[in-house]
Amino acid sequence: MTERPNFESQTRPDCAVIGLNNVTREYTGHGSVVRALADATFSIVAGEWVAITGPSGSGKSTLVNLIGCLDRPTAGELKIDNVDVATMTATELDRFRADKIGFIFQQFHLIPYLSALENVMLAQYFHSMTDEGEARASLERVGLGKRAEHLPSELSGGEQQRVCIARALINNPPILLADEPTGNLDAANQTIVAELLQDLHRNGHTIVMVTHDPEMAALAQRRIALSHGKVFCHPVGGPMVAIRR
Amino acid sequence: MSKLSLIGMLRRSLVHRRARSLSALIAMTVSAGVATALLTLYANLDAKLHKEFRSFGANVVITAPATAPLRPDALEKVRQAAGPDALAAEFAYAVATTDRGTPVVVAGTDFAAVKRLDSWWQVDAWPDASAANAALLGQRAAQFVADERAVILTFAGHSVTLQGVGRLRTGGDEDSRIYMPLAAFNAWTGVAPTVIELQIPGGATTVDASISRLRHALPELQVQPVRALVEGESKIVDRTHALMYGAVLLIALTVAISVLATLSASVLERRRDFALMKALGGSQLHLMGMFLLEALVLSIAGVAAGFLVGSAAAWAISETNFHTATLPRLSVLPLVLLLNIAIAAMAALFPARVLRGLQPAALLKGE
């Protein structure tokens, strides 16, 4: 396991896999401008597990969308794997996202008419080319090797989330972006998924996790808290420190 | 070995939403079927309609000048100028007196030619070509004679006895006439034919062209179209064409609206699926291609089914209305395919716009 870095007041742009520098996202509508995220500056290094927390409307979704390359900042610099995504075209962004980000959704979002195996292969399909063997191995890794041919309707919530995790891992992305990964699960399945994420973290994966669950947040190395579009971050258990207004 | 393919996903997607897919397929089949039926019938429409109009009799009348009868070779020249599909018959007229002392118009003609030309005549029995004195009595003319089996007529002091073979009903002037073989008429009256009635198949343009040729070939004769018939036939044919085109367009529009609703619902139902594919790296072009491919597959399947249904319908319509069989025409297939693809493309415009405007982040969040 890697040594826990000192996060008290500084970012570490030199080995950052995600770097935000004065990132702002504004939405214009009905004659007014809404600033969903204001001057966010922080970085996440490789192999780090970061929990993003905050109340509804705090800007968590906006932040996650930006990191996930599903949106682009209005201002500021956002670097994923040392590449400034703000300058990319839509097509380049699609390609980049397939390469760099593995998504784990709260609602799983599996295609209902594809089997577990095919849902995993779907990520390969949009990335490069499909490989059934690799997809089966990914399912084995999350303990679903025997359920590969089942449709999502035939799987439990926890199993569906595990398929989602297998799909997120299949292209070996540097970043796993988990949006409330246990939000739709019962206690038993929450534990299973939490253990899976811990295992992935131990194996060196970078995990950015949005969560309302304090127990899930406690598993992370660092917490980035959002409030009214502004970012705070502190190590797990430490005092909350505003690093940039 | 790779298992997931675009065609596989497409097939699964259509089967998964079979009700929606079937609805779109039925709509496409209807449009293709109607287009096939109408285009198949249209191909033979002119010929069929003109064939029906042939039964209305002559549409051109050729009359000799007041001073002289028709030349002996006039009929042959008319046939040459009018074309091989035209029907022609000569008529010679005289006013004779019956055995009851009633004047009656007697016409000498070729019964075989008249039978083809005026098939709309209601005749009990046509005289045999070999019967030299057989006669056809108009239903009013029959009342002027004492005995239909021995019709005694007198013209310029010369009498002839004819055998009435059948009665004629037309509702027109023919009902007041007695018709007899031309040769016997000539021998009895010495009067040569003065009128040729002619049926030229085709629309107004064809008839007018034939009339020009006739006037050029026979400048001494008066060649006149039966305007009401020629123009009426043309109008009916043109209007039938317009009606068919209009019907195809109207049905195509209705089908397009139906397919639009189905495709729109399909995109809205699957917007999270599309949002997921976008999040996984699917480009806008890729997703649009998948969606349009679905529409194309439904369109082509509709054409295949519609062609069979439409050809069968065309056959049934042709049999019922024209008493002829209309065989399937592969030549209409490209046009039907083009029409269905155009319908699918038109119907896909709005759903494609919805797809382009998808916000993956919001949809995947459950908003």
Q: Helix or strand or coil: residue B210?
A: helix
Please tell me which residue of chain B has the smallest CA distance to A63.
B361
Q: What are the chain B neighbours of A123 within 8 Å (beta carbons)? A: 280-281
pLDDT: is A3 or B259 the higher one? B259
Interchain contact, B4 vs A90, CB within 8 Å:
no
Is the domain of B303 the same as that of B323? yes
B283 within a domain of the structure (yes/no): yes
Q: Which of B185, B208, B225 is the last residue of a domain?
A: B225
Supply the pLDDT for residue A235: 54
Confidence class of residue B77 from pLDDT cuts 50, 70 and 90?
Answer: very high
For residue A62, what pLDDT is reported?
87
- Mean pLDDT for the stretch of residues A121-136: 92
A184 touching B (Cβ < 8 Å): no
Q: Of B3, B13, B285, which is closest to A113 when you measure between CB atoms? A: B13
Q: Is residue B1 part of a domain?
A: no
Three-state SS for B263-320 is: HHHHHHHCHHHHHHHHHCCCCHHHHHHHHHHHHHHHHHHHHHHHHHHHHHHHHHHHHH
Band of pLDDT at residue A77, cut at 50, 70 and 90: very high
The first and second tokens of residue B35, run together, are 């287009």
Least Cα separation, residue A242 to chain B (angstroms): 27
Distance from CA of B367 to the nearest CA of A (A): 11
Partners of A210 on chain B (C-beta within 8 Å) are none
Contact A132, A117 (CB under 8 A): yes
> pLDDT above 70 covers what percent of chain B?
96
Most A CBs within 10 A among B10, B278, B363, B364, hence the mutation to make, goes to: B364
- C-alpha gyration radius of chain A: 18
Cβ <8 Å between B3 and A68: no
Mutation target among A27, A114, A138 for the B interface, most CBs of B within 10 A: A114
Give the residue extent of every domain in chain A.
46-71+90-235
Q: Which of B195, B197, B196, B191 is nearest to B94 (CA)?
A: B191
Instruction: Scan residues 99-158 of A and list those with Cβ closer than 8 Å to B.
Output: 99, 103, 105-107, 109, 111-114, 117-118, 121-127, 129-132
Chain A residues whose beta carbon lies within 8 Å of the beta carbon of residue B361: 61, 64-65, 68, 70-71
What residues of B are in contact with residue A71 (Cβ under 8 Å)? 361
Tell me whether B288 touches chain A (CB under 8 Å). Answer: no
Confidence of residue A150 (pLDDT cuts 50, 70, 90): very high
Q: How do residues B181-223 score in pLDDT, each as one tens digit?
A: 999 999 999 999 999 999 988 777 888 899 999 999 999 999 9
pLDDT of residue A103: 93
Q: Is the pLDDT of residue B141 over 90?
A: yes
Domain membership flag for residue B30? yes
Residues from chain A that touch B4, judged by Cβ atoms under 8 A, are: 114, 118, 121-122, 124-125, 130
Mean pLDDT lowest for which of A182-196, B221-235, B244-258, B324-338? B221-235
What is the signed CA dihedral for B300, B306, B307, B311, rounded to 10 degrees? 180
Mean predicted lDDT score pLDDT of chain A = 85
Instruction: Quote the pLDDT of residue A7.
Output: 37
The structure tokens listed for A35 are 């600033």
Same domain, B76 and B197: yes
B284 C-beta neighbours (distance < 10 Å), count:
14
What residue of A is the nearest CA neighbor of B18?
A113
Q: How far apart are CA B318 and CA B51, in angstroms?
A: 13
Interchain proximity A97–B365, CB inside 8 Å: no
Task: Tell me the average pLDDT across B235-263.
Answer: 84
This prediction has a pTM of: 0.69
Torsion of CA A64, A65, A68, A69, to 10 degrees: -150
- Segment B155-165 shows an average pLDDT of 94
pLDDT band at B67 (very low <50, low <70, confident <90, very high): confident
Give the SS3 label for residue B134. Answer: strand
- Stretch A4-31: mean pLDDT: 68
Q: Is the predicted pLDDT of residue A164 greater than 50, yes or no?
A: yes
Q: Which residues of A touch B1 (CB under 8 A)?
A: 132
Encode pLDDT of A174-213 as tens digits: 899 998 898 888 888 889 899 999 999 998 899 999 998 8
- Kindly determine whether residue B283 and residue A106, on different chains, have CB atoms separated by under 8 Å: no
Q: For residue A237, is pLDDT > 50?
A: no
Res. B224 pLDDT band, cuts 50 70 90: very high
Q: Give how far B52 is from chain A: nearest CA, Å.
A: 57
Q: Are residues B67 and B200 in the same domain?
A: yes
The one-character DSSP state at A241 is B
Q: Does the pLDDT at position A10 exceed 70?
A: no
pLDDT of residue A27 exceeding 60, the answer is yes
Say whether both B197 and B66 belong to one domain: yes
Distance, CA of B185 to CA of B179 (rounded, Å): 9
Do B289 and B308 lie in a common domain?
Answer: yes
> Which residues of A fall within a CB distance of 8 Å from B16?
112-113
What integer is the mean pLDDT of B272-293? 89
pLDDT at B157: 93
Q: Which residues of B fall within a CB distance of 8 Å from A65?
A: 361
Range with the poorest average pLDDT among B50-59, B95-104, B111-120? B50-59
Residues of A in contact with B275 (CB under 8 A): 109
Q: How confident is the model at residue A241 (pLDDT cuts 50, 70, 90)?
A: very low
Looking at the structure, do residues B11 and B33 belong to the same domain, yes or no? yes
User: pLDDT at residue B97 above 50?
Assistant: yes
Choosing from B200, B225, B250, the residue where a domain stops is: B225
Q: Does B7 touch chain A (CB under 8 A)?
A: no
Higher per-residue pLDDT: B220 or A8: B220
Check whether A238 has a pLDDT greater than 90: no
Quick check: A9 pLDDT over 50?
Answer: no
Q: Examine the domain organization and report whether B11 and B68 are in the same domain.
A: no
Fold of A46-71+90-235: Rossmann fold (3.40.50)
Asked if residue B253 and residue B207 are part of one domain, the reply reads no
B290 inside 8 A of chain A by CB: no
Q: Which of B176, B197, B225 is the last residue of a domain?
A: B225
What residues of chain A lie within 8 A of the CB of B281, using their CB? Answer: 94-95, 97-99, 123, 126-127
Q: Is residue B124 part of a domain?
A: yes
Helix (H, G, I), strand (E, B) or coil at B106: strand
| ipTM summary value | 0.85
Number of domains composing chain B: 2
For residues B81 and B202, state if they share a domain. yes
Considering only CB atoms, A70 lies closest to which of B273, B283, B360, namely B360
* Residues A98-128 pLDDT 10s: 999 999 988 889 999 999 999 999 999 999 8
* Token pair in block for residue B290: 């998948």
Please tell me whether residues B170 and B259 are part of one structural domain.
Answer: no
Q: Using CB atoms, which residue from A103, A107, A113 is nearest to B16?
A: A113
Residue-range definition of the domain harbouring residue B110: 60-225
Residue B75: the pLDDT is: 93
Report CB contact under 8 Å: A131, B2. Answer: yes
Residues of A in contact with B18 (CB under 8 A): none
